Structure formats: C-alpha cells, structure tokens
C-alpha cells in the first residue's frame, strides 16, 4: 500500500505535494468533492513538476484544474474511486438541454439577471454547511475566481442561481450566462477610475465580471492578450496591460493593503493574465521581484482572514480548531504562526511556524510536517488544515 509523505502545502490553492516513500515518486494531492462524498486523491508528478510547483504554487493551478476535471486520471495512484467514476462533470462542461424556455419567460416580470464574483475559498467554506444543490452554480474563470448569476427583483432582492434554481423549467445555464454577460457589458458604468486607460479600477461587480467572461476560446486570436486582472473584491477589480504592469501591481498592492487594513478580506490575491484567449495565473512574484515582500505580506494577511472565516463554519469539528495568527518581527517582516496545544487533537492551519503551547518552542512548518510524518492527516477543509492526533509527541 502506498505511503504518502507530505512535504509541501499550499493552503491558498488547496493542494499538497509530497513523495510516495516506497517508489520515491513525487505526487500532488487534493481533496475533490462529488455529490455524495469528499475524496483525497494523489497524482503522480515528474521531478521537474514537483520542483516547479514547490518553488511556485501558482504554476500548479492548470494541473490542479485538469485533475478536478478528471483529465489526469491516468496519473492517479491506484484506481479511480467509485464515487469519482460516477461523479458529474464540471458544471461548465455539461451539455445544455434543448428544452429550455425563453430566458425572459423564466425570469418573470420585473426580474433581471446580474453577475457575481465568487472565490474558491468562499465556495469551499459555504459548502461545509450546505447541500450541493444549494450552492451557487458558477463558471470558472481562473485562479481562485468564479462567476455566478443572481436574479434581482424590483425591490433589489437577490436570488442566487443554484443548481436547483437553474434546473427550473430546464433552464440552459450557458445561455443565461451569455445573455447576462451581453446585457451587462453593453453599458459603461460610472464606477470606473481611468475608464479610457490603464490601470483601470472597476467598482461595478457585474461589469467587471462581464469583461472577464469575454475571453475568447483557447487558441483564438485575441487582441486583449497580455491583459492582467486583479479581482480584489466584488467592488474592486483592477485591469491593466503588461506595458503598465509595474504601475498596475503597485496600485493593486496599495488597494489590497488598504482593504486588509480596514479589516476587509480579499476575494483573491492571485492575479490573472489573458493568454491565447483564456485567463491564466499571472506569476507576479517572478515578474516583480522588488515587490515580493509586499506580496507575501498581503497573501499572509488574507490567509489569516480565510482561516478565521473557515473556523467560524466548522464549530462542530470535534478537534481543537487552531487559529492562524500574524507576527511582525523587529525588522518589519510579517510571518504567520499557529499555537498547538500538545496532547490535544487539533486541526492546524498551514502557516510559517507552529508554536507549542506552554513551551514557547517555535518550529518551522516544514520541519513540523517532517516530525509528524504519518501521524498527520490531510483534512477536506480549504484552506487546507492538517489533523494531528492527541497522542502525537514531538521528539
């Protein structure tokens, strides 16, 4: 039976890396959800992939997306789980039924559709306490960003289009998404800074979402190739081209720092770039090495927000739910840590250091993983957490 040893975790992207000890083959593991179960899967990697994904987790996102969509099943350790074999395809890939009514008839009088941003973390956290059919039906854009549809009535009340709502009268979701995008993109809202140039800041959520959905099919000629998008929040999307990348990244960091400083969590800390007619992760660390420290600080602050939101949703977890916290060194360097009460079963966030309660001992997370070995269990939570049993003792 394979023995999987985890060596690296990217909590923002909800995957881990490690080595299968008997064969020495590196792997990527992630938790996937079906209608009936959540499963942990391990996929074989080449050494080159393992090294690249470890150095820059953003580079793994296309591979992760292919795994979720069941395009990498030949790389699985072991057979495909029965639950996965019968799992539904990603919603965006499902064929639409030809029996749908006209969309305006489905909406009803005085109702109109609008676009909403959703983050991968928010969807994952919400799914902990909701039936799959009650979750927003969304289209995946890239990185952590998804787009869904709300229906708004005359009083401004929103109804989220879930799987159940979309199936009323065999509604063709793809057609509804396209019609909604076409309606929204047809107007230019006032809530735009620098509307005729770049960097451009858009505070109108629906309009910003419509621009991201306008990407052409992969391989199509696209005059917008090189466009970079930061979706910091539902009322703050920033667009600029690679020619303005330095100015755009500086502006995005300013806005992100201001939002986090005001206690507002971000929707995404990972920018996207248009390539070959589709959105892909933009490696802003590599492209802007002078900003790496600020980028790291923004990502750490956002991760602490995400873990706090998650902790509020897993109150029924029988183990101790450890917090992720921030620490500022004398030189201003920002790091994250969690406190582990030794002798207590706990689910630990993925941070820079683990502090052993009552001892003051601080252990780098990678070293803690190495010490714990098989005692650690990967949970289904996103952002990721590891479960540590009460009988585990550090040497």
Q: What is the 3-state secondary structure (H, E, C) of 95-124?
A: CCCCCCCCHHHHHCCCCEEEEEEEEHHHHH
Which pLDDT score, from 0 to 100, does residue 83 have?
56
Kindly state whether residues 79 and 99 are assigned to the same domain.
no
% of the chain exceeding 90 in pLDDT: 40
| Chain centroid to CA 97 | 29
**Burial profile 146-172: b = 16 or more Cβ within 10 angstroms, e = fewer:** bbbbbbbeeeeeeeebbbebbeeeebb
Average pLDDT of every residue of the chain:
82
Confidence of residue 34 (pLDDT cuts 50, 70, 90): low
Kindly state whether residues 227 and 342 are assigned to the same domain.
no
SS (H, E, C) 333-375: CEEEEEEECCCCCEEEECCCEEEECCCCEEEEHHHHHHHHHHH
Which pLDDT score, from 0 to 100, does residue 97 have?
34
The answer, yes or no, to whether residue 284 has pLDDT greater than 60, is: yes
Kindly state whether residues 12 and 54 are assigned to the same domain.
yes
Which pLDDT score, from 0 to 100, does residue 334 have?
94
- Could you tell me if residue 169 is inside a domain? yes
Q: Residue 264 and residue 383: Cα distance in Å, rounded?
A: 18
> Is pLDDT larger for residue 223 or for residue 309?
309
Q: Residue 248 and residue 250: Cα distance in Å, rounded?
A: 5
The answer to whether the CB of 123 falls within 8 A of the CB of 138 is: yes
% of the chain exceeding 70 in pLDDT: 82
The pLDDT tens digits for 7-30 are 888 766 678 899 998 899 999 988
The pLDDT tens digits for 130-164 are 666 678 888 888 888 999 998 888 888 888 888 67
Which pLDDT score, from 0 to 100, does residue 95 have?
35
Which pLDDT score, from 0 to 100, does residue 319 have?
95
The answer, yes or no, to whether residue 165 has pLDDT greater than 50, is: yes
Q: Look at the chain and report how many structural domains it folds into.
A: 3
Kindly state whether residues 241 and 362 are assigned to the same domain.
no
**Segment among 176-190, 305-319, 341-355, 373-387 with least mean pLDDT:** 176-190
- Could you tell me if residue 394 is inside a domain? no
Q: Which residues are bridge partners to 136 per DSSP? A: 162
∠ CA 355-359-363, nearest 5°, is: 35
Domain final residue, candidates 44, 63, 89: 89
- Could you tell me if residue 54 is inside a domain? yes
Kindly state whether residues 74 and 137 are assigned to the same domain.
no
| Chain centroid to CA 82 | 26
Kindly state whether residues 105 and 220 are assigned to the same domain.
yes
Kindly state whether residues 329 and 289 are assigned to the same domain.
no
Kindly state whether residues 104 and 16 are assigned to the same domain.
no
Which pLDDT score, from 0 to 100, does residue 321 have?
96
Which pLDDT score, from 0 to 100, does residue 221 have?
43
> Is pLDDT larger for residue 14 or for residue 232?
232
Eight-state DSSP code of residue 204: -
The pLDDT tens digits for 319-359 are 999 999 999 989 889 999 999 998 999 999 999 999 999 88
The answer, yes or no, to whether residue 229 has pLDDT greater than 80, is: yes
- Could you tell me if residue 327 is inside a domain? yes
Kindly state whether residues 83 and 120 are assigned to the same domain.
no
| DSSP reduced 3-state for 61 | helix
The pLDDT tens digits for 241-263 are 999 999 999 999 999 999 999 99
- Could you tell me if residue 307 is inside a domain? no
The answer, yes or no, to whether residue 294 has pLDDT greater than 70, is: yes
The answer to whether the CB of 147 falls within 8 A of the CB of 295 is: no
Q: Residue 98 and residue 94: Cα distance in Å, rounded?
A: 13
Kindly state whether residues 111 and 248 are assigned to the same domain.
yes
> Is pLDDT larger for residue 233 or for residue 81?
233
Domain extent at residue 53: 4-89
Kindly state whether residues 189 and 214 are assigned to the same domain.
yes
Domain final residue, candidates 234, 267, 296: 296
Domain final residue, candidates 69, 89, 109: 89
| Chain centroid to CA 162 | 19
The answer to whether the CB of 185 falls within 8 A of the CB of 214 is: yes
The answer, yes or no, to whether residue 68 has pLDDT greater than 90, is: no
- Could you tell me if residue 393 is inside a domain? no
Kindly state whether residues 283 and 322 are assigned to the same domain.
no
- Could you tell me if residue 282 is inside a domain? yes
Work out the average pLDDT over 161-187.
70
Q: Residue 316 and residue 301: Cα distance in Å, rounded?
A: 25
- Could you tell me if residue 56 is inside a domain? yes
Q: Residue 311 and residue 35: Cα distance in Å, rounded?
A: 23
The answer, yes or no, to whether residue 109 has pLDDT greater than 90, is: no
């Amino acid at each position: 039976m394979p023995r999987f040893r985890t060596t690296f975790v990217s909590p923002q992207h909800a995957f881990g890396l490690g080595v299968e000890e008997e064969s020495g083959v590196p792997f990527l593991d992630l938790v996937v959800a079906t209608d009936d179960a959540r499963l942990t899967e391990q996929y074989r990697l080449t050494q080159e992939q393992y090294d690249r994904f470890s150095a820059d987790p953003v580079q793994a996102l296309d591979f992760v997306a292919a795994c979720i969509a069941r395009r990498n099943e030949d790389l699985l350790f072991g057979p495909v789980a029965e639950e996965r074999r019968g799992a539904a395809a990603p919603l965006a890939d499902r064929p639409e039924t030809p029996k749908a009514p006209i969309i305006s008839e489905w909406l009803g009088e005085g109702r109109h559709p609008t676009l909403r941003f959703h983050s991968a973390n928010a969807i994952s956290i919400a799914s902990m306490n909701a039936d799959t059919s009650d979750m927003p039906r969304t289209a995946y854009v890239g990185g952590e960003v998804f787009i869904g549809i709300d229906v708004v009535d005359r009083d401004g009340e929103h109804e989220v289009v879930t799987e159940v709502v979309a199936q009323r009268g065999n509604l063709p979701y793809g057609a509804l998404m396209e019609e909604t995008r076409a309606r929204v993109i047809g107007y230019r809202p006032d809530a735009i800074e620098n509307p005729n140039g770049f960097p451009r800041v858009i505070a109108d959520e629906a309009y910003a979402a419509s621009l991201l959905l306008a990407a052409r099919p992969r391989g199509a000629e696209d005059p917008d190739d090189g466009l970079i998008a930061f979706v910091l929040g539902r009322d703050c999307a920033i667009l600029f081209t690679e020619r303005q990348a330095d100015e755009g990244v500086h502006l995005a960091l300013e806005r992100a720092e201001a939002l986090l400083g005001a206690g507002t969590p971000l929707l995404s800390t990972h920018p996207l770039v248009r390539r070959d007619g589709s959105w892909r992760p933009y490696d802003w660390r590599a492209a802007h090495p002078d900003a790496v420290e600020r980028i790291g600080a923004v990502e750490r602050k956002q991760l602490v927000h995400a873990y706090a939101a998650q902790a509020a949703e897993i109150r029924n977890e029988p183990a101790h739910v450890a917090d992720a916290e921030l620490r500022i060194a004398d030189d201003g360097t920002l790091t994250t840590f969690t406190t582990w009460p030794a002798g207590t079963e706990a689910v630990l966030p993925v941070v820079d250091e683990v502090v052993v309660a009552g001892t003051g001992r601080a252990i780098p997370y990678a070293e803690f993983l190495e010490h714990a070995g098989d005692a650690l269990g990967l949970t289904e939570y996103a952002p990721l957490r590891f479960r540590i049993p009460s009988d585990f003792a550090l040497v």
